[in-house]
Amino acid sequence: MSEIKNLTLRSGWSVFASAMGHGEPFRASNLRGTSGSVSDSFGGCGRLYTCRCGFGELYRASAAADGVAYTVRSFHTPIAFRSVSGEWHMDKCHYSNRTTRHQNLISAAIDRAL
Ligand SMILES: [Zn+2]
C-alpha cells in the first residue's frame, strides 16, 4: 500500500503533475489521485453518469478492460485518468464550481508537464 501524499489546492499544478507523473496517490481536500480505476458500483463514480462529452464512456470501457492506470477524482467523480498505454484523458463537462477549480488545476498539470 503506497502512502497517500497530502497536498492542498494551493500546492500548484507542478506538485500535482509530479504526483500524477509518478503514479503516487494524493489527496488535496476533495481532489484525489489513486492508482488503477474506481468502481462504478454503489455510486463510486459520483456524477460521472451525467457526463455528455464522451469521457464517461471512455472511462468505463477502459476500466472494464483493465486499461486504467491512474484516476483523478473530484469528490467521487473521475475527472481525469491515465491509460495503461500512458495517455491522459480529461472530462470537459461542467459539474460545479469546486470541480471546475479541480479540473483547471489537473488540466494545467497534464497540459504543461504530462
Ligand atoms: Zn464529460
Model pLDDT for residues 16-29, shown as the tens digit of each residue? 999 999 999 999 99
Give residue 81's domain range.
5-102
Q: How far is the CA of 1 from the centre of ligand 1 (A)?
A: 31
Residue 86 within any structural domain of the chain:
yes
Residue 31 within any structural domain of the chain:
yes
Residue 15 within any structural domain of the chain:
yes
Q: How far is the CA of 56 from the centre of ligand 1 (A)?
A: 6
Q: How far is the CA of 106 from the centre of ligand 1 (A)?
A: 15
Q: What is the pLDDT of residue 39?
A: 84
CA distances for 57 relative to 51, 64, 65, angstroms: 8, 11, 12
- Classify 60 as helix, strand or coil: helix
What's the domain count of the chain? 1
Residue 107 within any structural domain of the chain:
no
Residue 36 within any structural domain of the chain:
yes
Ligand 1 (ion): which residues have CB within 5 A?
51, 53, 55, 91, 93
**pTM for the full model?**
0.95
Residue 49 within any structural domain of the chain:
yes
Residue 64 within any structural domain of the chain:
yes
Q: How far is the CA of 52 from the centre of ligand 1 (A)?
A: 5
- Classify 45 as helix, strand or coil: coil
Those residues of the chain that have pLDDT short of 70 are 1-2
Residue 110 within any structural domain of the chain:
no
Cell 504543461 locates to 112
